[in-house]
Chains A and B, each alone.
Chain A
Amino acid sequence: MSSTLRYLYDGSFEGLLTAVWEAYYAKEDPSEIIWEGAAQPNLLSSTKMIYTDADKADRVYRAVEEKISHDALRRIFYIYLSEEPESGIIILNYLRIGFKLGAAVDDYHAEPSVLKSEKLYNRVAMEKHRLAGLIRFKRLESGVFYSKIDPDHNVIALLAPHFAARMPSEYWILHDAGRGIAVFYDKNEWVIRNLETPEDIVLKEGEETYQEMWKAYYRHLSIESRKNMRLKKRMMPVRYWKNLIEEGD
């Protein structure tokens, strides 16, 4: 009886690319590629630990870009950021077909591995797009614009360039509270660092006036005779409401 094989990696994108390299060069067919921190003991499968290797990762990275496409590279990076347990194996299966078909792979929607990758990519891209609108900054006493979010996927790095282009002349922080990380922008460049949820934040004087204005605006814009909460909830899922000024508390 041949047991199934699973790869464990360190959770980094390089680690994941190293796992892809390993599957190719060891001619193995793992059924799972998962972050070691999320791995449950499993007696039925054999486990192989993947040690991140920058050179191997780099070779896979360049191969994807040259032999498939830049879009494919973006797709696998977004899938990696989804942090879904199946993201690793979805990437491997997608790349296997990608290396056969080249840039045309993204058109092969009827192929299950391609379709799975497209769906997961879309989920991450959708959340990024939604949050570009749903993020709310509060101005703190220090003058910094601070925003807390709790996204399903690890998207703050995807959102940082958007706000850096819009608000180049302000200090701002984009805080993924669930993951304990944040983008810090210093009017020049942005970096990602760890950040615990602050105990209490002190708002700048006058900040509440703008919040009140926004809430009033929001209330007054709805047309009572067209009320349709089901439509609203479909467009703006309830899980995002807690960090909105207009829906919070």
Chain B
Amino acid sequence: MDALRKLEILADAAKYDVSCSSSGSNRQNKKGGLGNASAAGICHSWTDDGRCISLLKILMSNSCIYDCVYCVNRSSNDLPRATFTPEEVVDITINFYKRNYIEGLFLSSAVVKSPDHTMEQFIEILKKLRDVENFNGYIHLKAIPGADKKLLDQAGRYADRMSVNIELPTEDGLKMLAPQKKQNEILGPMNDIKQGMLQSIEERKIFRNSPKFVPAGQTTQLIVGATRDSDYRILKLSEGLYNDFQLKRVYYSAFVPVSTNPLLPRISSPPLVRENRLYQADWLLRFYGFNSDELLSEDKPDFDLLLDPKCDWALRNIDKFPIEINKAEYHMLLRVPGIGVKSAQRIVSSRRFCQLDFDDLKKLGVVLKRAKYFITCKGKHSGIKSMEPVNIRTNILGDSSKNDPRQMSLFDLEGGMGNELNIALPI
């Protein structure tokens, strides 16, 4: 089989992994070498589904020994199989990079023969790229659950980022859909990567040239909608991963039906709005100072599909509003629907020069259509007379119903799919 045909099969098999980000590392080029990493990340193209392409995202192989129900590469699935040689992966990566098609490599794989064998193949590819070809572009490596810790340690010295996919939010889900995987096999490597990063940071305080260990940190992915887990459980899990494992990102992937197994839900299209709500909430956790218990609870375990999580929170806490733009503290500005991180920062820096009015807010990028119900400017309110949540909700939904809700939701989610340009979420 020629490399082109393999590429088709193994790109196809890798596309459900949503992460494609190339950010977080500032690896420098070496003398006579090829490539470097840009801390902000760079997107090189966008596919027809609007997702950015930054890395050459491929599987090394799709011949899997496992049979996970939700996965397109499960061993019982009848589909063409292929395996790259290390030389082929290196050749395509280097030549794509020189033509500026990509920022680097995102290498994942089905489990070939055994977890250890698969990791060993990964390390061979990484060594060839870094040591032989002197390649200093971005490398994201998928850690294979169940592989020996020594192999993980070795791989981490060559990669910029590593990830272990949790896939299913609960142990019950795993038991049902991926009986050969166990949650501790997933959390184990995550913890090892975290320890490796901490250790490398300590070592580099003493020996400046001691190698970096996954400098761009680790990420994971959760599939949304393949099991009955609520948004609350998923968000709690993400919060724990950010706090306890210091993950850089949790990616959410709306379940795409790739199998008709009776254990899986029957859906005609992926739950994109729900995925979008989770991304919005994820941003609220990481950049807006919210915690998961403010957004959801056992009594209200799922997000409102019509209203974004911040608006929803504001309406449930209407007694805190309206706030005066010229006085409110930064953390409170962040909680106003229609004010994002960037506009909150701009409000704080601009109001040192003069009192802001509604016109100024518009210029600063505030979405007044949303914000007006929750703020005053120099004491003036331009929302509706009533501060009843029901009335405000009706008005907000009236504004957004003019648009197709699916498009609207994607408009709110600039960059949720790992695109690097518009990282601030305008909500």
Q: Do A and B bind each other?
A: yes
Q: Are B364 and A235 in contact (CB under 8 A)?
A: no
* Cα–Cα, bound, A246→B48 (Å): 12
Q: Distance (Å) between the CB of A107 and the closest chain B CB?
A: 4
Q: Are B100 and A231 in contact (CB under 8 A)?
A: no
Q: Are A223 and B256 in contact (CB under 8 A)?
A: yes
Q: Distance (Å) between the CB of A1 and the closest chain B CB?
A: 32
Q: How many A-B pairs fall under 8 Å by CB?
A: 160
Q: A227-B48, A228-B49, A236-B46 are in contact. Are A107 and B352 (CB under 8 A)?
A: yes
For chain B, what secondary structure do more than half of its interface residues adopt (helix, strand, loop), or is it mixed? loop
Q: Distance (Å) between the CB of A227 and the closest chain B CB?
A: 5
Q: Are A232 and B48 in contact (CB under 8 A)?
A: yes
Asked if B29 is an interface residue, CB under 8 A from chain A, the answer is yes
* Cα–Cα, bound, A222→B7 (Å): 14
Proximity string of chain A (30-69) to chain B, C-beta cutoff 8 Å, 1 when within and 0 when not: 0000000000000000000000000000000000000000
List B contacts of A104 (CB < 8 A): 352
List B contacts of A229 (CB < 8 A): 48, 50
Asked if A84 is an interface residue, CB under 8 A from chain B, the answer is no
The listed residue with most B CB atoms (<10 A of its CB), out of A138, A165, A166, is A166
Asked if B43 is an interface residue, CB under 8 A from chain A, the answer is yes
Name B262-321 residues within 8 Å CB distance of A. 269-270, 272
Name A194-249 residues within 8 Å CB distance of B. 209-210, 212-214, 216-218, 220-232, 234-236, 244-246
Closest to B44 in A: A133
Asked if B56 is an interface residue, CB under 8 A from chain A, the answer is yes
Q: Are B45 and A226 in contact (CB under 8 A)?
A: no
Q: Are B350 and A217 in contact (CB under 8 A)?
A: no
Asked if A129 is an interface residue, CB under 8 A from chain B, the answer is yes
Q: Are B48 and A137 in contact (CB under 8 A)?
A: no
Proximity string of chain B (349-362) to chain A, C-beta cutoff 8 Å, 1 when within and 0 when not: 11011101000100
* Cα–Cα, bound, A111→B356 (Å): 11
**Segment at the interface with A among B30-38, B164-172, B237-245, B394-402:** B30-38
Q: Are A232 and B100 in contact (CB under 8 A)?
A: no
* Cα–Cα, bound, A223→B258 (Å): 11
Q: Are B46 and A220 in contact (CB under 8 A)?
A: no
Asked if B98 is an interface residue, CB under 8 A from chain A, the answer is yes
**Segment at the interface with B among A21-29, A88-96, A167-175:** A167-175
List B contacts of A132 (CB < 8 A): 38, 42
Q: Are B99 and A246 in contact (CB under 8 A)?
A: no
Asked if B386 is an interface residue, CB under 8 A from chain A, the answer is no
Q: A109-B364, A170-B98, A216-B4 are in contact. Are A232 and B92 (CB under 8 A)?
A: no
Count class of interface residues, chain A: 35 or more
Q: A110-B354, A133-B44, A213-B4 are in contact. Are A218 and B53 (CB under 8 A)?
A: yes
Q: Are A110 and B356 in contact (CB under 8 A)?
A: yes
* Cα–Cα, bound, A230→B99 (Å): 27
List A contacts of B49 (CB < 8 A): 222-224, 226-228, 231-232
Asked if A145 is an interface residue, CB under 8 A from chain B, the answer is yes
* Cα–Cα, bound, A227→B406 (Å): 12
Closest to A222 in B: B47
The listed residue with most B CB atoms (<10 A of its CB), out of A107, A133, A224, is A133
29 A-B residue pairs with Cβ-Cβ distance under 8 Å, sorted by A, are A107-B353, A108-B353, A109-B350, A110-B353, A110-B364, A130-B421, A133-B45, A134-B44, A135-B100, A136-B101, A137-B98, A138-B99, A139-B99, A163-B100, A165-B36, A169-B33, A170-B98, A209-B4, A213-B3, A214-B99, A216-B4, A221-B14, A221-B51, A222-B51, A223-B256, A227-B49, A231-B49, A231-B50, A234-B50
Name the 9 nearest CB pairs between A and B, nearest first: A231-B50, A107-B349, A222-B47, A226-B49, A133-B44, A220-B11, A110-B360, A228-B50, A236-B46
Residues of B within 8 A of A (CB): 3-4, 7-8, 11-12, 14-16, 29, 32-36, 38, 40, 42-54, 56-57, 92, 95-96, 98-101, 103, 137, 254, 256, 269-270, 272, 346, 349-350, 352-354, 356, 360, 363-364, 407, 410, 419, 421
Other contacts beyond A108-B353, A147-B100: 13, CB < 8 A: A110-B356, A111-B353, A133-B44, A133-B54, A137-B98, A166-B34, A218-B47, A220-B11, A220-B15, A221-B11, A221-B51, A228-B50, A232-B49
